[in-house]
Amino acid sequence: MVDVILGLQWGDEGKGKIVDYFAKNYDVIARFQGGPNAGHTLYIGDKKVVLHQIPSGIFHQDKINLIGNGVVLDVVTFKKECEAVSAFGVDYKKNLFISERTHLILPTHRALDKASELSKGLDKIGSTLKGIGPAYMDKTGRNGLRVGDILHPDFMEMYNKLRSKHYQLLGNFDFQEEITEWENAFFEAIEFIKGFKIVNGEYFINEKINKGMRVLAEGAQGSMLDVDFGTFPFVTSSNTISAGVCSGLGIAPQKIKEIIGITKAYCTRVGSGPFPTELFDDKGEFLRKTGNEFGSTTGRPRRCGWIDLVALNFACMINGVTQIVMTKADIMDELETLEVCKGYLVNGVESMQVPFQMHNLDLKPVYQSFKGWKKNISALKDISEMPEEMKTYISFINAYLNVEVKYISNGPGRDQLIVA
Q: Which of 182, 214, 49, 26 is nearest to 104 (CA)?
A: 182
Residue 9 interacts with ligand GDP (CB under 6 A)?
no
41 binds ligand GDP (CB under 6 A): yes
**Is position 91 annotated as part of the catalytic site?**
no
DSSP labels, 314-358: HHHHHHT--EEEEE-GGGGTT-SEEEEEEEEEETTEEESS--S-S
- In terms of CB distance, is 349 or 419 closer to ligand GDP? 419
Q: Site residues (CB under 6 A) for ligand IMO? A: 7, 10-12, 34, 37-40, 125-128, 130, 132-133, 220-222, 225, 236-237, 270-271, 296
Nearer to Mg ion, 295 or 413 (CB): 295
For residue 6, the minimal CB distance to ligand GDP (Å) is 9
- Among Mg ion, ligand GDP, ligand IMO, none, the one that 133 touches (CB under a kind-dependent 5 to 8 A) is ligand IMO
Structural contact between residues 100 and 148, judged by C-beta atoms closer than 8 angstroms: yes
Which of ligand IMO, Mg ion, ligand GDP, none sits in contact with 284, Cβ below 5 to 8 A by type?
Answer: none
Residues paired with 327 in a beta bridge = 264
Angle (deg, nearest 10), helices 107-120 and 132-140: 110
Q: State the binding partner of 14 from ligand GDP, Mg ion, ligand IMO, none, CB within 5 to 8 A by kind.
A: ligand GDP
Specify the stretch interacting with Mg ion by CB under 5 A; choose among 10-18, 51-59, 196-204, 277-285. Answer: 10-18
- Asked if residue 134 has a cis previous peptide bond (ω within 30° of 0), the answer is no
40 is catalytic: yes
Residue 331 interacting partner from Mg ion, ligand IMO, ligand GDP, none (CB closer than 5 to 8 Å by kind): ligand GDP
Of 3, 7, 10, 12, the one binding Mg ion (CB under 5 A) is: 12
Exposure b/e, 80-106, CB count within 10 A at least 16 = b = ebbeebeeeebebeebbbbbbbbbbbb
- Of positions 234, 269, 409, 418, contacts ligand GDP by CB under 6 A: 409
- Which of 380, 259, 398 is CA-nearest to residue 329? 380
The verdict on 296 binding Mg ion (CB under 5 A) reads yes
Closer by beta carbon to ligand GDP, 5 or else 256:
5
Q: Are 270 and 236 in contact (CB under 8 A)?
A: no
Of residues 99, 102, 237, 327, which one binds ligand GDP by CB under 6 A? 327
Residue placing its CB nearer to ligand GDP in the complex, 69 or 327: 327
Q: How far apart are CA 31 and CA 81, in angstroms?
A: 15
- The partner in contact with residue 248, picked from Mg ion, ligand IMO, ligand GDP, none with C-beta cut-offs of 5 to 8 angstroms by kind, is none
Indicate the helix (H) or strand (E) that contains 163.
helix 155-170
Cβ at position 401, least distance to ligand GDP in Å: 19
Based on the shown chain and the rule CB under 6 A, indicate whether residue 339 belongs to the binding site for ligand GDP: no
Residue pair 249/30 in contact (Cβ under 8 Å)? The answer is yes
Question: For residues 282-311, which are near ligand GDP according to CB under 6 A?
Answer: 296
Residue 330, contacted partner among Mg ion, ligand IMO, ligand GDP, none, CB below 5-8 A by kind: ligand GDP
One-letter amino acid of 280 = F
Rounded CA gap, 318 and 117, in Å?
29
Contact present, 137 and 169 (Cβ < 8 Å): no
C-beta of residue 51 within 8 angstroms of C-beta of residue 168: no
Contacting residue, 328, 335, 365, 380, with ligand GDP by CB under 6 A: 328
The number of residues in the chain equals 420
132 binds, among ligand IMO, ligand GDP, Mg ion, none (CB under 5 to 8 A by kind): ligand IMO
Which of 215, 224, 331, 401 touches ligand GDP by CB under 6 A? Answer: 331
Q: Under the criterion CB under 6 A, does residue 16 sit at the interface with ligand GDP?
A: yes
Number of Cβ within a 10 Å radius of residue 45: 8
For residues 150, 152, 153, 155, the Cα torsion angle rounded to the nearest 10 degrees is -40
412 binds ligand GDP (CB under 6 A): yes
Q: Choose the binding region for ligand GDP from 99-107, 345-353, 385-393, 410-418 (rule: CB under 6 A).
A: 410-418
Pairwise CA distance, residues 175 & 272, whole Å: 24
d(CA 366, CA 257) in angstroms, rounded, equals 34
**3, 20, 40, 330: which is the annotated catalytic residue?**
40
Residue of 3, 12, 74, 330 with catalytic role: 12
Given the rule CB under 5 A, which residues bind Mg ion?
Answer: 12, 39, 296
Catalytic site positions: 12, 40
